[in-house]
Chains A and B, each alone.
Chain A
Amino acid sequence: MRRVWSALFGGRFWALALKELRQIRRDRRLTISLIVPPTLQVLLFGFALDSDVRNLKLGIVDESRTLESRELISVLTQNRTFRLAGSYPTAATLGEALSIGRLDVGVVVPYDFARRRMRGRPATVQVLLNAANANTAQIAQGYVEGAVAFLNRDVNNRDLNGGRAAPVELRTAFLYNPGLVNAWFVVTGVFGTLIILNGSLVSAATMIREKERGTVEQLLMTPASALEVVTAKIVPLFVLLMVMVALVLAVARLVFGVPLRGNPALVLAACACCVLTGIGLGTLTSTFARSASQTQLISFFINPPLAMLSGGLTPIEAMPKWVQPVTLFNPIAHFATIARSVLIKGGGLDVVYPNLLALIALASLFVGISAWRFRRQLS
């Protein structure tokens, strides 16, 4: 115990770590970039990214102008999915409005709508959807059909006084997130991205500074071994980044009300792995670059695909089949799975252990390679 203690706090390692800590503290821009952007980003992402389909602009051509047609329109606009944006005299003008983007959905009620229904014959309503956005179109279509089915059931109830509903009813239960709060999905997804990106940014900045100023040679002259130098560089960064993690977690909890249903230690372990991966990634890029601006340019090659192909913002299942296996090598994807399972679904280690193992493997891989590259650069 005593020997471990003295090795940690008495020896060269502690001195080097202290030096790193002081350097980071004096660099005010670095400290600020550790605290401000992650908090701001999580707020921005959480508020701005919402895939909910609502307030779609609905245009109507009501050629029937009867009680029945108005009932159909009111059923469609009852929910916040559609907002009545205007009525049009003919289907042609409606189509025009749709193509210049003034409308998202158009509904054409034919002139014989009420008459056909009175006679007990099916009436067809035309629905025009701007399907440019496939996702919105699909949800909107489902909603229109659902509303029409509701109306049909209503009619059946009224007309046949047997009071029958549709023969088969489907009851939907939303588990884990019954309010369908989209921010929970986005915040848990963005969390890993923030850790990795900021971790790599900060670590690359501190590593490259040593290189830019040519102080690497000075480190070489100290009696410390290469391993000690590398560890002393990583540990203070790790501590600082974990503070950032706590901050982001607090924002997620307090601002967005993300639940904490599972074991927080599990999430923290995953965070720690992510932080290490980020540091490894940053160190790795810094060994390839010659200057600070170059590390940032290189990170442009890495970060956008890393962030976008992680399942953090869009579901992995929606990606093409050949991309899906690639995400297995993405630490952010594993982190997002863990964060969602543990925080939102309350899963335990028995559920997330494959992802946690993968994260640990990726973290050790990145730290190992970067340490090896850094050492090679030292000698």
Chain B
Amino acid sequence: MRRILAQARKELTQLVRDRLALGLVLVLPLCLTALLGTSISLTVTDIPIVIQDLDQTPLSRRYADMFRSSLTFRVVTLPPATSPATMLDWGATRAALIIPEHFERQIRRGRPAEAQVLVDATDGNTARLTRGSAGAITRAFAQQLAQTGTGATIQTATSATIRTGTSATIRTATRLWFNPGRDPGKFYGPGFLVLGLSIFPTVIAALAMSREGEQKTILQVYVSSISAHEFLLGKILAGMAIGLAQCLLGVGLMYTLFGLQFAGDPTPFVAGSVLYVFCMAAFASLVGAAIPNQAAAVQAVALGGFLLSFLLSGLIFPIENIPDGLRWVSNLVQARYYVVIVRDAFLQGGGWPAVWWAVLAVGAIGLVFYTLAWRSMRRMQVKA
């Protein structure tokens, strides 16, 4: 135990002397989490839309006004002698609403009036959102028509039928749980906390390990009386200290900048974080032991840690959408489980019943990494 602590202390001393590495570990992850967590979102709120009103009647203008007053859309004026399609081609707008001629007349006659919305579908997600909100606005408009009657003065028989027709409807009362304001930061903030924790302490720990190999100081370790377990555990302990410090800072950021707090029992988060930090430090030691070249080790961690934890962990895009052939890989990615733990701790608050399996999985993967690292180190001899 004493030797483990001594080893860990030596690592931390080395780290404090390297200013670039220290900045990398403590400052950068916080900046990154703050910046990306607040600015990454898939949900566009001000979708630019042009409205071409070919009818120019009170009803058509009322319909257009509903788009104007919605939070999802920002109406862009259509320059004279320009077609909406050109505006879309130019990228000046994401959508175009076209209200045809005789829009009001059709409604007053009790015939269905059709409006068209052209959507730039280059970005499929925004296109889907556009369709959804335009549909919702149109439904609200239709309901308004039904309730107030189509004309203020002429109460026709048709409007009366609309009234009876739509009153027998199903209504939805939607409750948004866990994030009622639909604030994307509350979802992505914890995600980027995980990303920061996956990259930076890992890079530093891997560097510390491969440096021994590159500068041949590993020989000193070999000739000393320290065992492979003690050496590895010392390294990992130092890595865990860095990781936990960063995790603590990250939690502080969640509380302040993102306005989050522990939604329920924080013990799964604590246990999960300790295990995750262990897992990443073991992974780093494995990479560092296997690649005795600092530059190559950083690249390996960047590829393994960053790409995998970014792509296959459900950080931004749901795991369920990954094609089957690739999705099983994500089960081997430790970040995938930790993302679940962190999001549950800050948003859902399901506690142990919700995430026990994720905590176990992180621990298991950590053990595998540790065993692999130990196997590559255990002989404590220079590789032939």
Contact = CB atoms under 8 A, between A and B. Distances in A.
Interface of A: 29, 33, 37, 41, 44-45, 47-55, 72, 98-101, 113, 117, 120-139, 141-146, 148-149, 151-152, 155-156, 159-160, 162, 164-178, 180-182, 184-185, 205, 291-298, 300-301, 304-305, 308-309, 313-315, 317-320, 323, 337, 340-341, 344-347, 351
11 contacts: A37-B303, A50-B317, A52-B128, A124-B172, A128-B175, A132-B187, A149-B135, A170-B114, A178-B121, A300-B200, A323-B39
B312 A48 contact: yes
Interface residues of B, number: 116
A293 B129 contact: no
Nearest to A205: B295
Interface in B94-128: 94, 107, 110, 112-128
B179 A131 contact: yes
A318 B311 CA distance: 20
Contact of B122 (A41, A100, A143, A184): A184
Contacts, number: 358
Contacts of A41: 307
Contacts of A156: 165-166, 168
A137 B174 CA distance: 11
A312 to B, nearest CB: 11
Given A134-B179, A320-B39, A344-B122, 20 more contacts: A50-B318, A51-B124, A52-B128, A122-B170, A125-B173, A132-B178, A133-B187, A134-B184, A144-B172, A145-B135, A148-B169, A159-B165, A160-B164, A164-B112, A167-B113, A176-B122, A177-B124, A293-B207, A318-B42, A347-B90
Contact of A167 (B94, B145, B326): B145
A134 B40 CA distance: 12
A99 B264 CA distance: 11
Most buried by A among B38, B44, B145: B44
B333 to A, nearest CB: 11
B170 A182 contact: no
A137 B166 contact: no
Contacts of B174: 126-129, 141, 144-145
B179 A145 contact: no
A172 B110 contact: no
A231 to B, nearest CB: 26
B199 to A, nearest CB: 7
A168 B142 contact: yes
A129 B41 contact: no
B227 interface: no
Q: Top 3 nearest A-B pairs by Cβ distance?
A: A142-B132, A100-B354, A293-B294
B322 A48 contact: yes
B28 A167 contact: no
Nearest to A142: B132
Given A117-B170, A168-B141, A300-B28, A146 B127 contact: no
Interface stretch (B6-14, B232-240, B345-353, B375-383): B345-353
Nearest to A347: B89
Contacts of A48: 311-312, 317, 322, 326
Nearest to A56: B320
Given A126-B175, A164-B110, A318-B43, A101 B354 contact: yes
B113 to A, nearest CB: 5
Nearest to B186: A132
B173 A177 contact: no
Interface string B299-338: 1001100110001100011101111001000000000000
Contacts of B183: 134
B42 A175 contact: no
Nearest to B130: A172
Interface in B34-57: 35-36, 38-48
A166 B182 CA distance: 30
Contact of B171 (A122, A177, A291, A347): A122
Nearest to B347: A132
B11 to A, nearest CB: 17
B169 A152 contact: yes
B44 A318 contact: yes
A134 B173 contact: no
A181 B121 CA distance: 9
B125 A52 contact: yes
B136 A142 contact: yes
Contacts of A121: 167-168
A180 B128 contact: yes
B133 interface: yes
Given A55-B320, A168-B145, A137 B120 contact: no
A134 B168 contact: no
B21 interface: yes
Contact of B340 (A101, A130, A185): A101
B3 interface: no
A128 B47 contact: no
A288 B349 CA distance: 46
Given A49-B316, A156-B165, A170 B322 contact: no
A125 B170 contact: yes
B290 interface: no
Interface string B71-90: 00000000000000100111
B116 A173 contact: yes
Contact of A314 (B40, B118, B347): B40
Contacts of B354: 99-101
Contact of B89 (A101, A180, A345): A345
A104 to B, nearest CB: 10
Given A128-B177, A132-B348, A175 B112 contact: no
A166 B142 contact: yes
Contacts of B133: 142
A101 B347 CA distance: 11
Contact of A169 (B28, B115, B119, B299): B115
Nearest to B344: A101
Contacts of A52: 124-125, 128, 321
A218 B113 CA distance: 79
Nearest to B116: A171
Contact of A99 (B123, B132, B348): B348
Contacts of B296: 29
Given A139-B132, A341-B91, A155 B322 contact: no
Interface string B238-279: 000000000000000000000000000000000000000000
A292 to B, nearest CB: 4
Contacts of A143: 132
B289 interface: no
A309 B34 CA distance: 13
Contacts of B39: 308-309, 319-320, 323
B161 interface: yes
Interface in B123-155: 123-129, 131-136, 138-139, 141-142, 145-146, 150
